Amino acid sequence: MNMNNVAFPVTASHSVITVNNPFDGTQVGTVVNMPAERAESLIDIARDGAKVARALPRHERARILETCAVLVERDKEAFAALIVDEAGKTLKQAQKEVLRCVNTLKLSADEARRNGGEVVPFDSYVGSEGRQGWFTREPLGVIVAITPYNDPLNLVAHKLGPAIAGGNSVVLKPSELAPLSAIKLVDYLNIAGLPPNVISIATGGPALGEALVSARDVRMISFTGGFVTGEKIARTAGLKKLAMDLGGNAPVIVMDDCDLEDAVESCVSGAYWAAGQNCIGTQRILVHARIYDAFRERFVALTQALKVGNPALPDTDVGPMITTQAARRTEDIVSDAIRQGAKLLCGNVRDDSVYAPTVLENVSFHCDLWTQEIFSPVVVLQKIDSIDEALDLANLPAYSLHAGIFTRDLEIALKAADRLEAGGVMINDSSDYRFDAMPFGGFKYGSLGREGVRFAYEDMTQPKVVCIRKTGR
């Protein structure tokens, strides 16, 4: 797996990026650190690849995706081990991500077969009688896909699968922190029969990403990552389609009529999955005053019972953060909230990159912990007296992805579904639920477009109308 790059074989003169295990710092692999100047040749390759991809019949696109799904499923343990090694997810979490990747590839194959266009009913309004026609879904051409470290396999599949299904070529720039799962997935697509040049991998850092984003022949940037990067990309891209899958700060409301034990267990899982490095991870829990004390006691007890540490061990619940620097940033944000009056209920202990699951209450609504995405195993508890108060507080941050509510009251559940400003509202579940076929994306600041295979496929294709005028001769 080292140094192998589809687009750019390494020579002695190239610098490399070392990929380290976030838990113990051991070297997992190395990839070429491509300089920004390589962007041009990668786009040239993708331009050729776009012609090849477009010419692939839909059944062939579907066959490649399905074959790849079968191969990934066959080698699921190897993929899971790699995710553990390079991203620090626990084994259970990595295994789940691999199975989701298999689904994403299968869903993409379905889309290649199914979503070819529609008949346009020209005579449905006055003025277009005597015409018949349809629209097809045509490829866009060259797509640049840029991905983060936290789901290093399935988030890549969410870009490559729909792009291939739609007949596009892709230059993929995976996170420099965890690029190896992406490279392995592209290897498997090639083994499954994907022709050369359809997917190229750009291994490198922000400078390479920026050069790819600014290239004129790119028709779409599909980005998943943080707000700061998203804003930079939007400034650099120029006239290109943008898909922006950015961060969250998910609220979950817990009403007093819910199944308390179920709500606590779901919220614990939602808060600490992937050590909180999860865009739909539960960050703020708003609990009705009548059950607040009972919820807090049980939530803290289950948090303290989590097994934290080596992600490769089968019984570990919470692994490391991606880097020691990321864990230090979390410590700083939590310490700042405590200085501003927050009460620490447990956690805020760090051992290198491992940050213990942390619970706070009485957090000021002005703290970063309340307003920003913390992307860490940290949770804020907030007492609320009514559903209206909960909804107002839940909606305070300027951006959002998912939200959740626990209640048995249908009226309250539907009110929350209506009023929560989020791309997805989970009822009787934490914010941390996603099915790879559903539309997935954020509300409010920054989010553009939706992933979820059908929705990404539609974003990555363009309709072409064909209209036949009957001459009547």
Catalytically active residues are: 245, 279
Q: Which residues pair with 145 in a beta bridge?
A: 172, 222
Min dist. Cβ of residue 305 to ligand NAD (A): 27
Residues forming contacts to ligand NAD in the complex (CB under 6 A) are: 146-151, 155, 173, 175-176, 205-206, 209-210, 213, 224-226, 229, 232-233, 245-248, 279, 373, 375, 401
Q: Which is nearer to ligand NAD, 246 or 384 (CB)?
A: 246
CB of 268 to ligand NAD, least distance (A): 20
229 or 330, CB closer to ligand NAD?
229
**Rounded least distance, CB 139 to ligand NAD, Å:** 23
Write out the two tokens for 260.
Answer: 């308390």
Q: Which residues pair with 448 in a beta bridge?
A: 244
Query: Which residue's CB comes closest to ligand NAD?
Result: 209
Of 102, 95, 67, 66, give the one whose Cα is nearest residue 81. Answer: 95
CB of 441 to ligand NAD, least distance (A): 7
Q: Which is nearer to ligand NAD, 175 or 407 (CB)?
A: 175
Q: In the numeric block, which tokens belong to residue 123?
A: 């005579």
Minimum distance of ligand NAD from residue 425's CB (angstroms): 16
- Tokens 């991203």 appear where? 87
Which residue, among 4, 3, 7, 5, has the nearest Cα to 46 in the 3D structure? 7
Report the residue number, 400 or 461, with the smaller CB distance to ligand NAD. Answer: 400
Could you give the C-alpha distances from 178 to 198, 218, 247, 363, 383, in angstroms and in order?
A: 22, 24, 18, 33, 38
CA angle, 272 then 454 then 118, to 5°? 165
- Nearer residue to ligand NAD within complex by CB, 246 or 367: 246
CB of 250 to ligand NAD, least distance (A): 10
Between 176 and 361, CB nearer to ligand NAD: 176
Q: Are 242 and 220 in contact (CB under 8 A)?
A: yes
Can you name the residues that pair with 136 across neighbouring β-strands?
A: 117, 464
In this structure, are residues 296 and 345 in contact, taking their beta carbons and an 8 Å threshold? yes
What are the phi and psi torsion angles at 238 (to 5°)? 75, -150
> Residues in the chain, how many?
473
Phi, psi angles (nearest 5°) of residue 169 = -105, 160
